[in-house]
């Protein structure tokens, strides 16, 4: 049977480096994806994810399994992401209002024409790409704390209590955050929502 | 009610709450529409593809972990922490300063002991001490103490 996260972490604490590698395999993809949606830059997301693992490793000797491992892990990740987003925004304001915003041209975006040439159903493909782009932009436009709440709720399948602990707010405040985020998303994505709701 | 709609859509409500929301939805077209739209938004979020961490990712994590100083060695801890080093150096300096000062001023310190000795008459009221001969009187400092006794 697979060892639980907490058991792996206790093994790391006892000096077993192999268990750290297992935790790395288990959580690198969820963390990188979460951070990528938060900071919108792949390189930065990977750098922050590495920082999360490093902090987990550094904390191993003091680790006490008081909360769920994922709560602790994503709390570190969320704090790093929120700080990074705020720093980046501040830097951008400092540089210039005209400076180009250096965000990733995301997967698919630059490939679109290339693939479309060979694609048997070009129209369908373009529609799908446009949809994805709209969804991405709608998420990116959310205020960062709402964005974090949506990502943790939707993609990490954490329960309300855990997400509230990660965001350091009450469950009631979290529900408000999520409600406001979904209200914004249903307006931003209205054309798609109308299609999807049929 | 509004705040419970998302919980209803994602299936995280308690049974009693779920029934309560269902009852409301049956009667309220506005909330019914919102529930359907939230469900559609949730479905749209499912369409975003995941990215894969780059191949160098694991290596970088391991490299950064390997670059960590060893906690087991107190010397590594000492040298890796400038604050500890500075504090230790200051402590050393302070003890040297106190040491040189106290050897230079030996007689002065002997005089400063007198107020401490005065307290002995308080101590001598304790049973154990009262059976002993008073130790202070025979001393050199006895003359200075007498007026106060
Ligand atoms: Zn209603």
Residue B77 has pLDDT above 70, yes or no: no
Selected for mutation to probe chain B from A137, A140, A154, A176 (highest B CB count within 10 Å) is: A154
Q: SS3 string of A131-153?
A: HHHHHHHHHHHCCHHHHHHHHHH
Tell me the CA distances in angstroms from B76 to A24, A57, A82, B70, one per residue in order.
26, 17, 33, 6
Residue B80 has pLDDT above 90, yes or no: no
Q: What is the pLDDT of residues B98-140, one digit of tens each?
A: 766 655 544 444 444 444 444 444 444 444 444 444 444 444 4
Residues from chain A contacting residue B62 (CB–CB below 8 Å):
21
- The C-alpha atoms of residue A196 and residue A191 are separated, in whole angstroms, by 9
Give pTM, 2 decimals.
0.71
Domain CATH code at residue A4: 1.10.1740.10
**Which tokens is A94 given?**
């400092």
Does the residue A159 lie in any domain? Answer: no
pLDDT higher for A73 or B96?
A73
User: Can you tell me the ipTM of this complex?
Assistant: 0.84
* CB contact residues (below 8 A), chain B span 30-49, against chain A: 34, 36-45, 47-49
Listed by start position, the domains of chain B span 2-46, 72-104
Residue B149 has pLDDT above 50, yes or no: no
Does the residue A190 lie in any domain? Answer: no
Does the residue A54 lie in any domain? Answer: yes
Query: CB B37 to CB A135 under 8 A?
Result: no
Residue B95 has pLDDT above 80, yes or no: no
Q: Chain A residue closest to B65 (CA)?
A: A54
Residues from chain A contacting residue B50 (CB–CB below 8 Å):
29, 33
Q: What is the pLDDT of residues A32-90, one digit of tens each?
A: 999 999 999 999 999 999 999 999 999 999 898 888 999 999 999 999 999 999 888 77
- The C-alpha atoms of residue B45 and residue B66 are separated, in whole angstroms, by 38
Residues from chain B contacting residue A53 (CB–CB below 8 Å):
61, 64-65
> What confidence score (pLDDT) does residue A124 get?
87
> Which percentage of chain B shows pLDDT scores above 70?
54
> What confidence score (pLDDT) does residue B2 get?
83
Residue B147 has pLDDT above 60, yes or no: no
Does the residue A116 lie in any domain? Answer: no
> What confidence score (pLDDT) does residue B79 get?
52
Q: What is the DSSP string of A9-29?
A: HHHHHTT-HHHHHHHHHHHHH
- The residues placing their C-beta within 5 Å of ligand 1, an ion, are B 28, 31
- Cα of B1 vs centre of ligand 1, distance in Å, is 7
> What confidence score (pLDDT) does residue A121 get?
85
**Which tokens is B57 given?**
């990712």
pLDDT higher for B34 or B79?
B34
> Which percentage of chain A shows pLDDT scores above 90?
71
* Residue B10 DSSP label: T
Tell me how many domains chain A contains. 1
Dihedral Cα A100, A101, A103, A109, nearest 10 deg: -50
Residues from chain B contacting residue A12 (CB–CB below 8 Å):
none
* Residue A106 DSSP label: -
Query: CB B36 to CB A197 under 8 A?
Result: yes
B131 lies within 8 A of chain A by CB: no
Query: CB B49 to CB A132 under 8 A?
Result: yes
Selected for mutation to probe chain B from A135, A159, A176, A177 (highest B CB count within 10 Å) is: A135
- Each residue's pLDDT expressed in tens, for chain A with a length of 198 residues: 789 999 999 999 999 999 999 999 999 999 999 999 999 999 999 999 999 999 999 999 989 888 899 999 999 999 999 999 988 877 776 655 555 555 665 554 444 445 555 667 888 889 889 999 999 999 999 999 999 999 999 999 899 999 999 999 999 999 999 999 999 999 999 999 998 766
Smallest Cβ–Cβ distance between A186 and the set B38, B50, B52 belongs to B38
Selected for mutation to probe chain B from A132, A180, A182 (highest B CB count within 10 Å) is: A182
Query: CB B65 to CB A176 under 8 A?
Result: no
Does the residue A186 lie in any domain? Answer: no
- Cα of A21 vs centre of ligand 1, distance in Å, is 49
Query: CB A182 to CB B38 under 8 A?
Result: yes
> What confidence score (pLDDT) does residue A108 get?
45
């Amino acid at each position: 049977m697979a060892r639980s996260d907490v058991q792996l972490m206790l093994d790391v604490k006892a000096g077993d480096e192999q268990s750290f590698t297992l935790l790395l395999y288990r959580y690198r993809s969820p963390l990188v994806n979460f951070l990528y949606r938060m900071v919108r830059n792949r390189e930065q997301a990977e750098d922050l994810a590495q920082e999360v693992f490093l902090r987990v490793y550094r904390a191993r000797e003091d680790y006490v399994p008081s909360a769920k491992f994922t709560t602790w892990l994503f709390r570190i990740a969320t704090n790093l992401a929120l700080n990074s987003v705020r720093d980046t925004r501040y830097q951008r304001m400092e540089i210039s209002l005209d400076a180009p915003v250096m965000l990733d041209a995301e997967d698919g975006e630059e490939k679109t024409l290339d693939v479309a040439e060979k694609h048997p159903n070009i129209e369908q493909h373009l529609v799908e790409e446009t949809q994805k782009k709209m969804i991405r932009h709608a998420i990116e436009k959310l205020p960062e704390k709402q964005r974090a709440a949506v990502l943790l709720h939707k993609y990490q399948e954490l329960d309300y209590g855990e997400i509230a602990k990660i965001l350091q707010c009450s469950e009631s405040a979290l529900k408000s955050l999520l409600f406001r985020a979904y209200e914004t998303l249903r307006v931003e994505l209205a054309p798609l929502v109308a299609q999807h709701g049929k | 009610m509004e705040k419970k709609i998302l919980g209803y859509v994602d299936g995280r409500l308690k049974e009693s709450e779920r029934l309560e929301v269902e009852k409301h939805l049956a009667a309220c077209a506005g909330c019914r529409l919102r529930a359907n739209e939230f469900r559609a938004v949730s479905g749209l979020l499912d369409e975003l593809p995941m990215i894969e961490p780059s191949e160098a990712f694991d290596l970088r994590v391991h490299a950064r972990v390997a670059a960590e100083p060893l906690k087991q060695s107190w010397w590594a801890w000492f040298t890796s922490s400038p604050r500890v080093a500075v504090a230790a150096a200051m402590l050393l300096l302070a003890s040297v300063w106190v040491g040189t000062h106290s050897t230079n001023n030996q007689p002065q310190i002997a005089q400063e002991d007198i107020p401490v000795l005065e307290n002995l008459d308080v101590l001598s009221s304790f049973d154990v001490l009262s059976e002993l001969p008073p130790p202070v009187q025979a001393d050199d400092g006895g003359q200075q103490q007498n007026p106060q006794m």
